[in-house]
Amino acid sequence: MTGVQDRVIVLTGASGGIGQSLAREFAGAGTYFALIARDEARLLPLLEEIKAAGSDGETKAIDIRDRDALHAYLKDLDKRHPIDLVIANAGVTAGLGPNRTRESDADSDRQIDVNYRGVVNTVTGAIDAMQARRRGQVVLISSLAGMRALPDMPSYSATKAALIAYGHSLRGWLKPFGVSVTIICPGFVTSPMSARHKGAKPFEMPADRAAKLMRKAIEKRKAFYAFPFLLAFGIRLQNLLPAKLGDLFMGGFDVEIEQDPRYREADRRQENAG
């Protein structure tokens, strides 16, 4: 990349469908990326792609559950390239067990650790420097499931709802310091994660289109953005109903979530050890 760096972006979950699309959407001259995911081999082609679009950047293989490693990296990065924008996008999904039995302990723990604790690790690793500079932006990628919990995805829904609450709190705290916070709640977006979702996916949209909508919300520094509009609006109306009536509308969202292949072997080893 040539010229002055206008913006330094930290993007977690950069190897996934939405993460890759967000990197492509923000790529351009003057932008420096720190692309973070567990599998660096999947990040390298994306880095080359955004460089071809005029950006520069680096990749880092980190599990965001490892707070010490993540904080050390973000602190070092900020010394070299002061961070302007953090997009906490990394997340995992899972659902009920076979025949609608309870979630496995491993699935529940993993979603809590990645979807909530991992996001907190990401934010707290970058926010001190932003607060001191009195500028910056934090973006939390939640989900419509955080606005209205899905019966077959209890831990996923709970962790995404936690991100919404966390984001509202962050915004109130950080606003006087010039740091803005944007909470984004996408609906169904075509991605490898979505492909494992075996059930109704109303208004599903391609990841590149979702990334364009997200970018507009981020650049406008919206406090809260949920899409697609019709589905988000329906959820808001549903939440105004008494709980028993609201529950009636969730019957069409029965779903089975295929096991994430990235964790299948690790779960098997854990079960055998138990």
pLDDT per position as a tens digit, 31-78: 999 999 999 999 999 999 999 999 999 999 999 999 999 999 999 999
Report the mean per-residue pLDDT for the chain. 90
Phi, psi for residue 216 in degrees, rounded to 5 = -60, -45
In tens, the pLDDT along 82-119 reads 999 999 999 999 988 888 899 999 999 999 999 999 99
The separation between the first and the last C-alpha atoms of the chain, rounded to the nearest angstrom, is 51
Q: Count Cβ atoms below 10 Å from residue 157 Cβ, excluding itself.
A: 20
At 261, which CATH number? Answer: 3.40.50.720
Q: Which two tokens stand for residue 190?
A: 């075509």
Q: Does any domain span residue 22?
A: yes
pLDDT of residue 2: 43
Contact 36, 76 (CB under 8 A): no
Q: Does any domain span residue 238?
A: yes
Do the strands 197-199 and 255-257 form a parallel or antiparallel pair, or are they unpaired? antiparallel
Report, as residue numbers or ranges, the catalytic residues. 156
Strand partners, 138: 86, 181
Distance between CA 195 and CA 96 in Å, rounded? 16
Identify which has the larger pLDDT, 239 or 274: 239
Q: Does any domain span residue 1?
A: no
Q: Does any domain span residue 2?
A: no
Helices first, then strands: H and E counts in the chain:
12, 9
Residues 6+ apart with CB under 8 A from 167: 138, 140, 142, 181, 182, 183, 224
Cα angle 182, 236, 18; round to 5: 45
Number of domains in the chain: 1
pLDDT bracket for residue 238 (50, 70, 90): confident
Cα angle 159, 191, 95; round to 5: 40
Q: Does any domain span residue 161?
A: yes
Q: Which two tokens stand for residue 233?
A: 């609006």
Supply the range of the domain harboring residue 241.
7-273
Q: Does any domain span residue 85?
A: yes
Quote the distance between the C-alpha of residue 243 and its chain's center: 28
Query: Structure pTM?
Result: 0.90
Q: Does any domain span residue 92?
A: yes
| Helix or strand run (H / E) with residue 51 | helix 40-52
Q: Does any domain span residue 68?
A: yes
pLDDT of residue 25: 98
